[in-house]
């Protein structure tokens, strides 16, 4: 899903190619049984691409919640999801963590290094996203947020010394093809497939992720 963005003097909202945001969100809920909720969206004001939140310096334009109680809005009902996006078709697709999955968040450079090691180790991966702000999110079973710090210590690293964090209850990730302003769209590094419907435990992936983050410091 590649889009071209015009210069700021003639900025346009990038056009979605392929499946609509609504159909994609419905598929996440219906096929993967993930809770989803709509976030902010992109708007053009005076020829400039801006986040619907109205903040000129928004850190993740078009890719964050619209309300503080977003967790209560998240739903796994395909019917409700379809209704939510019919009200705002261009809303970003956000997935709460701590429910059907947690996510291990690492820098992109470390993530791709870890992916290569995991392939050599023949590890079974869940879905993995790559974001325009150069982060990667490895989807794992819920509960990772509570035990990842201890697992990292067991491997000989103080958790605070590595750019690695597990996102659990109260956090969220942006799902493809959500855009971060003009920086591009979230993409799948490992797509959701029938083969990775059953997610790995954090313990299965933490060693190559920790090694890669240690190399990336």
* 152-210 residue pLDDT tens: 999 999 999 999 999 999 999 999 999 999 899 999 999 999 999 999 999 999 999 99
Tell me the two tokens of residue 21: 């945001």
Contact 93, 41 (CB under 8 A): no
pLDDT at 87 exceeding the cut of 60: yes
Tell me which of 9 and 157 has the higher pLDDT.
157
Which pLDDT belongs to residue 206?
A: 97
Reading the block at residue 158, the tokens are: 């103080």
Cα separation values, 95 from 60, 64, 167, 192, Å: 15, 10, 11, 14
Residue-wise pLDDT for 28-38, tens only, equals 999 999 999 99
**What confidence score (pLDDT) does residue 67 get?**
95
33 vs 151: CA distance, rounded Å: 28
Closest C-alpha among 68, 66, 70 to residue 58: 66
> With 0-12 CB in 10 A as exposed, 13-18 as middle and 19+ as buried, what is 133?
middle
Q: What is the DSSP letter of 40?
A: -
Residue 7: pLDDT over 60: no
Alpha-carbon distance 96 to 113, whole Å?
26
pLDDT in tens, 124-138: 999 999 999 999 999
What is the crossing angle of helices 78-87 and 21-32, to 10°? 170
| CB-based contact 107:213 (threshold 8 Å) | yes
Tallying the residues shown for the chain, one arrives at 217
Q: Is the pLDDT of residue 81 over 90?
A: yes
Q: Is the pLDDT reported for residue 18 higher than 80?
A: no
136: nearest Cα among 159, 107, 177, 164: 107
């Amino acid at each position: 899903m590649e889009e071209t963005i015009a210069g700021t003097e003639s900025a346009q909202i990038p056009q979605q190619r392929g499946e609509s945001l609504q159909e994609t969100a419905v598929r996440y809920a219906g096929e993967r049984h993930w809770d989803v909720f709509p976030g902010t969206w992109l708007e053009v004001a005076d020829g400039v691409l801006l986040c619907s939140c109205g903040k000129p310096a928004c850190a993740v334009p078009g890719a964050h919640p619209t309300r503080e109680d977003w967790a209560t809005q998240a739903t796994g009902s395909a019917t409700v999801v379809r209704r939510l996006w019919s009200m705002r078709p261009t809303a970003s697709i956000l997935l709460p963590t701590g429910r059907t999955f947690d996510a291990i968040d690492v820098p992109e450079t470390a993530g791709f290094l870890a992916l290569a090691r995991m392939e050599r180790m023949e590890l079974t991966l869940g879905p993995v996203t790559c974001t325009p702000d150069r982060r990667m999110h490895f989807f794992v079973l819920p509960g990772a947020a509570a035990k990842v710090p201890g697992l990292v210590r067991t491997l000989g690293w103080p958790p605070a010394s590595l750019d690695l964090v597990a996102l659990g209850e109260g956090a969220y990730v942006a799902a493809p093809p959500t855009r971060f302003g003009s920086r591009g769209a979230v993409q799948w590094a490992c797509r959701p497939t029938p083969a990775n419907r059953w997610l790995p435990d954090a313990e299965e992936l933490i060693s190559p992720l920790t090694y890669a983050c240690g190399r990336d410091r």
